[in-house]
């Protein structure tokens, strides 16, 4: 490709130049997207690396287009990329941009020396974001490019134009070396797709700084490279899903902490691979972009819920998607109902929605629960099954049963419901006409959006968060914690609902007898815009179960 003169050579990157680089990277990735997609054989040959890099870069550029409001352009670019990152490669690109922002935000115009150091440190933070970094990948290309820039500076070549050329050329050399570093790339005869994308981004930086587009030979893709065995019609099909985890899960995580995110990293590293976690500061607090490949989508989402508030959840099958018309019995929901928690009434409600209900006796241990759940899942005769534990203590044995059912050829997802009220919310949005992974996401989000509470009677004296209670006192309990203590059930129930609705809510579900009727009247008077759904509880139930959405 002939070179093309665009503008004068820059001696420093000011904020306007960073904006031009962001836009140039988008243009270049858009042009290269198809070819990068065809390179994609590692870590999973799903042919979307170029697309994910482009979408991530577009998200960063869009954030800049919305304005910086006095904030560093580096910070705005990085935040937009992190919050919009797609896929494994997009998450790493976002981390590289965040690493640059960490080093360069607020410094003013950036010269060659500062940029070289920032490129090397950004590659280091990218390695830290990936749970199990491998060489011969995007990370190798980024690190080598940064090291080449630093080497140029240490040799006395400090001009910005020379530094960015050194970084781009060093990354390109490393890219060509990736073919020999990974078996999957060597077999396909291609270079790493993510690394190729980073080379495109660095070349866009060269163009921005020097005014000249680098003249690069096109990269060979799998279509261009004949493979051994192709002549006999039995060549290995490289573009096939690997034998590892079956779904890519990605979400943004808010309302968390570094400690909780560290625990989340550990949990997800046990569940799957290709784990990348990237954090960024936003106007409303720190958020993390979490990416992982797993077999158990429900377990990954449950780990996210334990760590904070997952949102913008995306689940993509790594195997070819089975697009089937809905068939009776092809999909089922199994819901557990702990004995003693309005079991009869809740079982009737759930069964009325076509759910297979499993009542768990109070004395059953984890092994008994696991065995009963496995039997219930297999008895459905369905290929795809969602299981609702409906109690925190039941989640672990349910997850083990789901794993055993998957060994029997069933696709099983555990939606981490901690109360039958959350289970009702999940069932209400279930749709067998949706793709299974999408249905699991919808049910998980509905459950997570439901706050659950109950009104009960104290059996013993105890010290609670709401003060000391005595036998016979009415207790208002929110997600396992006593928050209201009083002498009368109705008074406590009304105060409990007033507190729940003070933070918002559009729908209240009440499961109970006469107390439910009285509380519904209170809601009609004090919260007239809230929709109320009433259900009978059945004999032996708690006085009132409450769900707020």
User: Cβ neighbours of residue 78 under 8 Å, at least 6 residues apart?
Assistant: 60, 94, 97, 98, 100, 101, 280
Q: For residue 322, is it within any domain?
A: no
Q: How many domains does the chain have?
A: 4
In a shared domain, residues 252 and 201: no
In a shared domain, residues 121 and 206: yes
Which among 491, 477, 463 has a CA at the least distance from the CA of 341? 477
In a shared domain, residues 39 and 186: yes
Domain boundary among 193, 225, 257: 225
Q: For residue 284, is it within any domain?
A: yes
Report the CATH number at residue 345: 3.40.50.510
Query: How far is residue 158's CA from residue 147's CA, in Å, rounded to a whole number?
Result: 14
Domain boundary among 448, 466, 485: 448
Domain of 459 in residue numbering reads as: 451-548
Query: How far is residue 62's CA from residue 65's CA, in Å, rounded to a whole number?
Result: 5
How confident is the model over 388-413, as pLDDT tens digits?
Answer: 998 888 888 898 898 888 887 888 99
Query: How far is residue 495's CA from residue 499's CA, in Å, rounded to a whole number?
Result: 6
In a shared domain, residues 437 and 482: no
In a shared domain, residues 429 and 400: yes
In a shared domain, residues 405 and 362: yes
Q: For residue 463, is it within any domain?
A: yes
In a shared domain, residues 386 and 348: yes
Q: Check residues 187 and 107 and name the one with the higher pLDDT.
A: 107
In a shared domain, residues 365 and 269: no
Q: For residue 64, is it within any domain?
A: yes
In angstroms, the Cα distances linking 16 to 65, 68, 69, 306 are 12, 12, 14, 41
In a shared domain, residues 111 and 203: yes
- What's the pLDDT score for residue 286? 92
Q: For residue 239, is it within any domain?
A: no
In a shared domain, residues 376 and 502: no
In a shared domain, residues 191 and 46: yes
Q: For residue 8, is it within any domain?
A: no
Tokens of 134: 């491998």
Q: What confidence tier does 2 reach under pLDDT thresholds 50, 70, 90?
A: very low
Q: What is the mean pLDDT of residues 353-357?
A: 83
Report the CATH number at residue 305: 3.30.70.1710
Query: How far is residue 433's CA from residue 172's CA, in Å, rounded to a whole number?
Result: 46
Q: For residue 240, is it within any domain?
A: no
Q: What is the mean pLDDT of residues 302-318?
A: 81
Report the chain's mean pLDDT, rounded to a whole number: 83
Least confident of 7-11, 32-36, 310-314, 344-348: 344-348
Q: What confidence tier does 221 reach under pLDDT thresholds 50, 70, 90?
A: low
Please say whether the beta carbons of 481 and 470 come within 8 A.
no
Query: How far is residue 251's CA from residue 346's CA, in Å, rounded to a whole number?
Result: 32
226-238 residues labelled b (16+ CB within 10 A) or e (exposed): eeeeeeeeeeeeb
Q: For residue 484, is it within any domain?
A: yes
In a shared domain, residues 523 and 499: yes
């Amino acid at each position: 490709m002939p070179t093309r003169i665009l503008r004068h050579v820059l001696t420093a990157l000011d904020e306007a130049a960073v904006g031009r680089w962001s836009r140039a990277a988008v243009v270049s990735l858009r042009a290269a997207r198809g070819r990068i997609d065809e390179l994609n054989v590692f870590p999973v040959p799903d042919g979307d690396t170029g697309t994910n890099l482009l979408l991530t870069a577009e998200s960063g550029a869009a954030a800049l287009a919305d304005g910086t409001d006095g904030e560093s352009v580096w910070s705005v670019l990085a935040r937009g990329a992190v919050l919009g990152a797609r896929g494994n490669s997009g998450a790493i690109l976002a981390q590289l941009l965040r690493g640059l922002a960490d080093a360069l935000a607020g410094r003013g115009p950036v010269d060659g020396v500062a940029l070289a150091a920032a490129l090397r440190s950004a590659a280091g933070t990218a390695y830290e974001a990936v749970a199990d970094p491998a060489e011969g990948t995007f990370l190798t290309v980024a690190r080598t490019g940064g090291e080449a820039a630093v080497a140029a500076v240490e040799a006395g070549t400090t001009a910005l134009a020379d530094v960015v050329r050194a970084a781009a050329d060093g990354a390109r050399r490393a890219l060509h070396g990736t073919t020999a570093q990974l078996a999957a790339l060597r077999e396909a005869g291609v270079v790493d797709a993510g690394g190729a994308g980073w080379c495109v981004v660095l070349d866009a930086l060269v163009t921005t700084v020097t005014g000249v587009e680098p003249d690069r030979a096109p990269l060979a893709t799998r279509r261009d490279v004949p493979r051994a065995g192709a002549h006999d019609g039995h060549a290995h099909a490289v573009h096939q899903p690997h034998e590892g985890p079956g779904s890519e899960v990605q979400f943004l995580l808010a309302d968390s902490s570094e400690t909780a995110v560290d625990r989340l990293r550990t949990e997800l590293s046990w569940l799957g691979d290709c784990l990348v976690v990237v954090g960024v500061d936003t106007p409303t607090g720190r958020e993390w972009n979490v990416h992982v490949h797993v077999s158990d989508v429900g377990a990954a989402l449950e780990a996210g819920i334990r760590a904070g508030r997952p949102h913008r959840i995306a689940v993509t099958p790594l195997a070819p998607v089975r697009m089937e018309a809905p068939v009776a019995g092809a999909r089922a929901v199994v819901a557990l109902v702990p004995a003693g928690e309005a079991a009869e009434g809740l079982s009737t409600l759930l069964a009325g929605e076509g759910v297979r209900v499993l009542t768990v006796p109070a004395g059953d241990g984890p092994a008994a629960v696991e065995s009963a759940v496995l039997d219930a899942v297999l008895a459905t005769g369905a290929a795809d099954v969602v299981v609702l534990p409906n109690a925190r203590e039941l989640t672990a044995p349910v997850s083990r049963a789901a794993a055993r059912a998957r060994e029997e050829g069933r696709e099983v997802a555990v939606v981490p419901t901690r109360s039958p009220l959350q289970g009702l919310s999940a069932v209400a949005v279930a749709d067998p006409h949706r793709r299974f992974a999408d249905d699991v996401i919808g049910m998980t989000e509905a459950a997570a959006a439901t706050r659950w509470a109950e009104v009960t009677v104290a059996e013993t004296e105890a010290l609670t968060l709401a003060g000391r209670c005595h036998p016979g006192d009415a207790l208002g309990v929110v997600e396992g914690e006593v928050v209201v203590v009083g002498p009368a059930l109705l008074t406590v129930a009304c105060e409990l609902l007033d507190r729940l609705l003070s933070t918002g809510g559009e729908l209240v579900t009440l499961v109970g007898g006469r107390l439910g009727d009285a509380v519904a009247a209170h809601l009609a008077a004090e919260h007239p815009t809230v929709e109320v759904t009433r259900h009978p509880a059945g004999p032996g139930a708690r006085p009132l179960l409450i769900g707020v959405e």
